Homo-oligomer: A and B are copies of this chain.
Amino acid sequence: MPLLNTNDRATKGELTKQRILEAAAQMFWKSSYHNVRVDKIVELAEVNKASFYQYFKNKEHAALECVDYMFSLTREHIFEGSFAQEQDPIKRLEEIYHRIYMAHKELKDNEEQIPGCPFMNMGSELATDSEIIRQKVEQVLGEFYVYQQRIYEDAKAKGLTTMDWEPELVGRQLQGILNGAMSSAKIRNRPEDITDALVTAKTIIGVPG
């Protein structure tokens, strides 16, 4: 189940690397960095272990690239997808929450466990021990909250909100609410915690729940 349309012109080596990346990203997400062994990644990717080290300097750098990979997936499927589908800023926000909820719901149904936010997971586990991972996750979350900042800006421009706040701050707060919601969902193993948080997000923007 390749999650990304891999380039048809990709060389054999690029495909191998991609397979490893998909396997690793999936496993890191569903479990954790430390709990996933390189052995298991290559087993799932169906490649030789030495190939792993041909394409990645070490496990940490593989994780780094996984964050990038998950980033591009999330941006496409969650943010860009929602923005393309809906024009109204509030509907966009709703769609974002809906898509995230659906993804977690499906994962719970199939795997019994809710994986939470892949970026928060990595960040939580590794921020204090790996500065490069911390920075990468910081960067990724930074790219996401601009989507939510824009939702607020659009809502404001359309007169949908009475709140008059610093957009950057609102963007970050919305991101924080989303992060908190996914973490809750994971820890309580309850996907509905994500949709529950939508009303909070709307309140921040200043629209009725």
Residues 14-48 (chain A) with a chain B CB within 8 angstroms: 30-35
A100 at the interface (CB under 8 A from B): no
**Does B196 lie within 8 Å of A169, measured CB to CB?**
yes
| Chain B residues with CB below 8 A from A85, complex form | none
Chain B residues with CB under 8 Å of A199's CB are: 169, 173
Q: Is the CB of B35 within 8 A of A183?
A: no
Quick check: A30 and B128 within 8 Å, CB to CB? yes
> What copy number does this chain have within its complex?
4
Interface residues on A, range: 35 or more
A30 vs B35: C-alpha distance when bound (angstroms): 19
Main SS at interface, chain A: helix
A34 to B33, CA, bound (A): 9
Chain A residues near B (Cβ < 8 Å) = 30-35, 113-116, 120-121, 123-129, 134, 137-138, 141, 163, 169, 172-173, 175-181, 183-184, 186-189, 193, 196-197, 199-200, 203-204
